[in-house]
Amino acid sequence: MHQTVSNGAPKTFLDQVIAATPGQSHLEMCIQCGTCGGSCPSGPDMDSTPRNLFAMIRAGMKERVLRSNAPWFCVSCYYCMVRCPQDIHVTDVMYTLKRMSVKSKLYDESTAPDFSKTFIFWVENFGRSFELGLMSQHMIRHNPFGVFKIADMGVGMVTKGRISFTPKRIKGMDSLRAILDKAKEIEAEDDAKIMGGAG
């Protein structure tokens, strides 16, 4: 972990991002080479490439970073991460920026956070994800006409027995719920230290 966590409130946005990223992110090592953005399949959709974001993080431009659409276009392909000459865990940092942006309610118009929330609903209540519930709920909320566009796929999946109509619930749901609640409590304590009342 980054040294600033135990020594009271981190001073800079860079410190906060590093402290909120599990593992060794090496974010402070960025040399602005741009390999990340050049390797990104979603690069053209992003308003700022990862390199831009990392420079802005260093410059303390918190709000602009957390309003960027870039993390929401990250597809977790890890090309940037294996190519980064400084071994920066770019994908992990993107997830940190997603979390920070949702917590501070700064995220762009992407429906991705809502998709994640719907996904998590099934996990937190059943312990398993549920494709039909996830896709239909998300689509009804954000793209009700989209269902016609993939109707042939849907019919194919149903007639070929590839879609389940009932979610499965794990046996140890109570135990899982206790674990997740506790984890969120620990995360909240952690965040309070990382943000130092500033975030």
Task: Give the interface segment with another protein, choosing from 7-15, 48-56, 59-67, 69-77 (CB under 8 A).
Answer: 69-77
If binding is defined by CB under 8 A, does position 61 make contact with another protein? no
If binding is defined by CB under 8 A, does position 47 make contact with another protein? no
If binding is defined by CB under 8 A, does position 195 make contact with another protein? no
The DSSP code sequence of the chain is --TTTTTSS--SHHHHHHHTSSS---GGG-----HHHHH-TTGGG-SS-HHHHHHHHHTT-HHHHHH-SHHHH-----HHHHH-TT---HHHHHHHHHHHHHHTT---S-SHHHHHHHHHHHHHHHSS--HHHHHHHHHHHH-TTHHHHTHHHHHHHHHTT---SS----TTHHHHHHHHHHHHHHHHHHHHHHHTT--
Site size toward another protein (CB under 8 A) is: 76
If binding is defined by CB under 8 A, does position 20 make contact with another protein? yes
* Residue among 179 and 192 whose Cβ is closer to another protein: 179
- Residue of 61, 102, 106, 195 interacting with another protein (CB under 8 A): 102
Please, what is the minimum distance in Å from the beta carbon of residue 75 to another protein?
5
